[in-house]
Each structure stands twice: as C-alpha cells, then as structure tokens.
Structure 1
Amino acid sequence: MIDRFSSRLYLVVSEDACRGRDLVSVTEMAVKGGVDLVQIREKHKDFAAFQSVTSRLKEMLDQYGVPLIVNDNLAVALSCCASGIHVGNSDMLPAEIKKQWHDGFLLGYSIEYEEQLFNSQIQYTDYLGISPVFNTQTKTDTVTAWGLHGISKIRSLTNKPLVAIGNIHAKNAYDVMRAGADCLAVVSAICGAENPEQAAAEIRNQIEKAI
C-alpha cells in the first residue's frame, strides 16, 4: 500500500522504447541508476502479452522495492497486483477506476490543457502527469508542449504532485525541477541509452541538485 507520492525519477518503459533489448533488463539497469518508480506502457499488446511482460517486470521490481504503474489497462494492473495505474485524457476516467479499485494504489492522470485542472476527475488522482513539457516523438497525440513556464503555472494552481514528461534528459532535468515539478518521467533518454544505468544516474544527479 502506498500512502503518498514521493518518487523523483519515473521511468516509462515499453518494448519499443528499449529498441530490441529486453525490457526487464533495461529497467533493472535504470533502477540501479536511481529510478524509483516505473510505468509500463504497451498500447498495442493484447491482454495475455501485456500481462506476461508486466508480471516479469513486477517480479524484478519487487526485489528492489520499486513500485510498478500500469498505463491505461486496469485489468492488467489488477491481475499483476501493480502499485497503480496511469490514465490520460482519452482513457478510462479516474472516477470509474476508483469504483473498481479502491484505496491503496496510485492513480496518475495526464494533464494536457489547463482546464483539466478544474474538472471533477482531479479529486480522484494522486499525482498529475504534465504532458508533454517539451515536444517529443514518443507521444504525438498531445495538444501542446507546456514548457518551463507551463510547469510553473500549473504549480501555482494545484497542490497535487506534478510529474513532468516529454523529452526530459540530463541537460534539462535541473531546470524542469526548479520550474515546479516534483518528479521527472523519462522514456527515450534512459530506455534508448547505451548505458541505461549511467543515463538514469546522470538525471537523478540533476534532480538531487535541484531539490
């Protein structure tokens, strides 16, 4: 059971992002480098395939005490006893998730435009994903890039923990944290790195400098 959101470096992992390398092995290297929360995102797998890789990933993460979040698939999250679920603007509503999965898990919600901060779904969430901070090829179905000013604006409007995602890497991590993010979510800069452990450690170092 997770009482509050306290993570700083959040890895979003998928088989595609790992570029042919084993997803579990890449994630383990990232955890050794400082990742303290992992989300698995597999939009195109059927239930059986998604459940299989998620179970493997969770078994490894449990050894390190790192929570696992499932992206937009409540059935997989429940079947694998994940620590939480993350949904976006076009996914299952947080209120509906709460009806099926009660207290004791993390529920993340992506914020793609300012008006979302004032809808009724926010009350059911544990943290907000600010998506994307900078333009990225990983996720192309978003409204606009927030930028550093956007993070600061959202920080002034909510007390919810903010997870910044979208082309985050070691060279901008410090500035994003200082702008108001509580945690950084990273995809390509870690999953696609030649040395995921080193890449994670470099970003984690910038986070620690900023807080």
Structure 2
Amino acid sequence: MARSFDLSLYLVTDPRLTAERGLEETVAAAVRGGVTLVQLRDPHAHGRALVEQARALRALLAPHGIPLLVNDRVDVALAAQADGVHVGQDDMSPQDARALLGPDRIIGLSVGSPQEFAASDLTGVDYLGTGPIKATGTKADAGAAIGAEGIAAMRALTTLPIVAIGGVDGACVPDVIRAGANGIAVVSALCGADDPQAAARALRDKVEAARR
C-alpha cells in the first residue's frame, strides 16, 4: 500500500517560471504557505540533471513529511528515492510503474474525461489528476477545458482521490472542491507568483473554506 498523501494543495514545478527565483527557493516558499505535495516536472532536463533536482527537493521536503513525485520518469524517481511518480496516458503504464516502484510509492495518473477513464487500467493507481479545469498555457497538450462539471463527472465514476489540474486559480477552487475534487494542483499560480508563500496560503485557505 502506498504511503499516505494529501492532495489539498499540489505544486507542479515549471522550470521556466522558477528560473529567476530558483527551484528550491520557490518550492520552499510554497511549502511554508501550505503546499501538501510536490511534483517535479521538467520535460527538457536530461536524466542526470533531473535526478539532481529530485534529490535536492526530496532533501527539502522530507523533513516536512511532504511527498515528492516525479513526472513521467520512473527511473529518476528510483534513482532519487522520490516518493512516487505521476504518469500520463501516453507514458509508462501505472501497472509497469508499480512493478518497478514496488507497493509503497505513490502513483498518479492523468485522466481527463470519462472516455479516458473507461480506457484506463487503474490497477496500482493511487489518485487521478483530472483537467484541465480552464485553458492553460503551461502544458500545450492539456486538451479542452472540462470545468467543475468534468470533476463531477469523474467523481461519479470512481472513489479514487482526484486532484483538479490545469488553469486552476483561486476563483475556481470552491467549484472544483464542491464538485468532488480532493485538492487542486497548480503550476503558474505558485511558480509564477511574486510571493509563493502568500499565494499558497491563499489557495490553501480557499480549499479549506470550500470543504467547510
């Protein structure tokens, strides 16, 4: 069984947006603001550089009990002893990832529609990333926006935890949480924020308020 995790405020890193401040500085500030899970995503980094980034983030996050996931790269997750991976529809299957990672690490899968859900073997999957909620500029192949209605449709199909992703901002948090999302995943809302700590605190407060 995978270790416990909290999807409330899930930070996905973007190397372009963190370049000026620095990756570790951005993540550390966001953690101080209330981030509960971090995914290292850098599609242009070579293996060695990605492993070094992952190790640095794991050292930063582990004392806080915050899991680190690596986007797509099971090999990097293993080398850096990260807490798991997030895979997309065209990446390594969750079943193969589970076979390599073992029972204790976290595996997330991107599922953007009921059609993708129906076509997915969810064996070994711990949570679903569903979206995009709104149009997003941080992932070119994210697909059409599904809104809170898409979260509600996915919630009707599964009891797996769901994190809403793609264009998520403070304005849509109440709707996606009430539609059944267990949390929100954000990129530019934190990586591109002038003050990631304050931005994270504001988003976390909105998540908690929507749950109440």
Q: TM-score, normalised by structure 2?
A: 0.95
Distance 1:160 1:195, change over 3 A: same
Q: Is the 8 A contact 1:2 1:83 kept in 2?
A: no
1:180 aligns with 180
1:58 aligns with 58
Query: Residues 68-147 of structure 1 correspond to what in structure 2 (within 5 A)?
Result: 68-147=68-147
1:23 aligns with 2:23: yes
Q: Is the 8 A contact 1:164 1:176 kept in 2?
A: yes
SS of equivalent residue, structure 1 residue 16: helix
SS of equivalent residue, structure 1 residue 122: coil
Q: Distance in 2 between matches of 1:56 and 1:6?
A: 21
Residue 207 of structure 2 aligns to which amino acid in structure 1? I
CA distances 1:57-101 after superposition (whole Å, capped 9, x unpaired): 111111222110000001110011111100001111111112212
Q: Distance in 2 between matches of 1:175 and 1:188?
A: 19
Q: Distance in 2 between matches of 1:73 and 1:153?
A: 29
CA distances 1:99-155 after superposition (whole Å, capped 9, x unpaired): 212100110000123222223521220000002111100112133211111111111
Q: Distance in 1 between matches of 2:120 and 2:35?
A: 31
Distance 1:143 1:170, change over 3 A: closer
CA distances 1:158-187 after superposition (whole Å, capped 9, x unpaired): 111001001112222122111111010010
Q: TM-score, normalised by structure 1?
A: 0.95
Root mean square deviation of aligned Cα: 1.4
Number of residue pairs matched by the alignment: 211
Q: Distance in 2 between matches of 1:7 and 1:17?
A: 22
Q: Is the 8 A contact 1:5 1:161 kept in 2?
A: no
Q: Distance in 2 between matches of 1:128 and 1:28?
A: 25
Deviates more, 1:198-207 or 1:164-173: 164-173
1:41 aligns with 2:41: yes
SS of equivalent residue, structure 1 residue 175: helix
Q: Distance in 1 between matches of 2:179 and 2:74?
A: 32
Q: Is the 8 A contact 2:2 2:126 kept in 1?
A: no
SS of equivalent residue, structure 1 residue 11: strand
SS of equivalent residue, structure 2 residue 201: helix
